[in-house]
């Protein structure tokens, strides 16, 4: 399995791109940087996007993707929890923040078709399957287990300490990697707890729930302003399983 890390940052600054993982040329998880990180030719091939939750850093480029591709692509399917789809309609594609591309160019043939997904149900796209699991964030949010014939990879989504995702993982013997969010340094533990994100300290405690021998844990969703501090705190943990994702890299599992 290959995962193209289009964007792995928890905020925007020069060179920083918010969350977007490309699983195949037509399938993505989150759309924070689907335009900022992919050229028009790559954007043109996108057909399905899973949206983990409604926060701006994960949906921002859905607006610009519709702008860029409206005249070229007949439709793109958005897959999300029913609550997330409702929030997208109510607060983003509402003709105030952005045009309602769930009804443009026409209600019968809109650019975006919203599909309600069920948590813990497998959705298949060719050789790849995607299973969403609810995690613990301040809005309804999911992590994902991605699987193909050879391997499975877990993407935590935005979450603080959580339970169900790691329980579901236990059934998978073929997990080759964990992509786990980490947003704030330890000094901002209160903010991390209130916004339901990890710090190095809470992530370290969380490891007992999911870490496996020889399975790498790639960290993403770092808030750019605190990147150096977070890297130093992770280095101090001296855990060889940890590494940081980089924008543009292609992970092979
Ligand atoms: Zn979030
Ligand atoms: Zn986020």
Ion ligand 1: residues, CB < 5 A: 55, 158
Q: Ligand 2 center to residue 205 CA distance, Å?
A: 21
36-63 confidence digits (pLDDT tens)? 999 999 999 999 999 999 999 999 999 9
The CATH number given to whatever domain includes residue 142 is: 3.60.15.10
189-242 confidence digits (pLDDT tens)? 999 999 999 999 999 999 999 999 999 999 999 999 999 999 999 999 999 999
Segments forming the whole domain that contains residue 180: 2-252
Q: What is the mean pLDDT of residues 73-80?
A: 90
Q: DSSP H helical segments within the chain, as ranges? A: 40-44, 56-69, 82-91, 164-169, 189-195, 200-210, 227-237
Tally of structural domains, the chain: 1
Beta-sheet pairing, 242-244 with 217-220: parallel
What ligand has the least distance to the C-alpha of 84?
Answer: 1
What ligand has the least distance to the C-alpha of 12?
Answer: 2
Beta bridge partners of 242: 217
Structure tokens at 84: 């997330």
Q: What is the pLDDT of residue 36?
A: 97
Question: Is residue 66 predicted with pLDDT exceeding 80?
Answer: yes
189-195: list long-range contacts, CB under 8 Å, 24+ apart.
192/160, 193/160, 195/138
Q: DSSP H helical segments within 32-108, as ranges? A: 40-44, 56-69, 82-91
What ligand has the least distance to the C-alpha of 141?
Answer: 1
**Phi and psi torsions of 193, nearest 5°:** -65, -45
Residue 109: partners with Cβ closer than 8 Å, 6 or more residues away: 74, 75
Q: What is the pLDDT of residue 72?
A: 85
pTM for the predicted model, two decimal places: 0.97
89-116 confidence digits (pLDDT tens)? 999 999 999 999 999 999 999 999 999 9
What ligand has the least distance to the C-alpha of 181?
Answer: 2
123-175 confidence digits (pLDDT tens)? 999 999 999 999 999 999 999 999 999 999 999 999 999 999 999 999 999 99
Question: Is residue 73 predicted with pLDDT exceeding 70?
Answer: no
Q: In Å, how far are 165, 230, 236 from 225, measured between CA atoms?
A: 29, 10, 19
3-38 confidence digits (pLDDT tens)? 999 999 999 999 999 999 999 999 999 999 999 999
Q: Give the containing element (helix H, strand E) for 29.
A: strand 27-29
Q: Ligand 1 center to residue 194 CA distance, Å?
A: 12
Q: Ligand 1 center to residue 137 CA distance, Å?
A: 7
What's the gap between Cα 216 and its chain centre? Answer: 18
Q: Ligand 1 center to residue 150 CA distance, Å?
A: 30
Structure tokens at 196: 């339901």
Q: In Å, how far are 34, 95, 120 from 135, measured between CA atoms?
A: 23, 30, 11
């Amino acid at each position: 399995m290959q995962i193209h890390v289009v964007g792995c940052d928890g905020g925007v600054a020069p060179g920083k791109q918010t969350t977007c993982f490309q699983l195949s040329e037509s399938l993505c998880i989150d759309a924070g940087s689907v335009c900022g990180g992919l050229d028009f030719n790559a954007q043109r091939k996108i057909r399905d996007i899973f949206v983990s939750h409604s926060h701006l850093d994960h949906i921002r480029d859905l607006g610009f993707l519709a702008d860029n591709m409206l005249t070229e692509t007949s439709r793109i399917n958005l897959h999300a929890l029913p609550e997330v789809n409702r929030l997208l309609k109510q607060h983003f594609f509402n003709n105030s923040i952005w045009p309602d591309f769930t009804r443009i160019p026409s209600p019968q043939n809109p650019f975006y078709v919203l599909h309600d997904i069920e948590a813990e149900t497998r959705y298949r796209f060719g050789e790849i399957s995607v299973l969403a699991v609810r995690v613990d964030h301040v809005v309804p949010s999911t992590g994902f287990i991605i699987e193909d014939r050879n391997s499975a990879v877990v993407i935590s989504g935005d979450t603080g300490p959580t339970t169900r995702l790691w329980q579901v993982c236990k059934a998978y013997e073929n997990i080759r990697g964990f992509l786990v969010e980490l947003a704030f340094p330890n000094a901002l533990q209160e903010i991390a707890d209130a916004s339901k994100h990890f710090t190095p300290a809470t992530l370290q405690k969380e490891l007992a729930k999911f870490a496996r021998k020889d399975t790498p844990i790639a960290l993403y969703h770092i808030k750019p302003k605190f990147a150096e501090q977070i890297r130093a705190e992770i280095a101090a943990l001296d855990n060889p399983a940890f590494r940081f994702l980089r924008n543009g890299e292609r992970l092979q599992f």
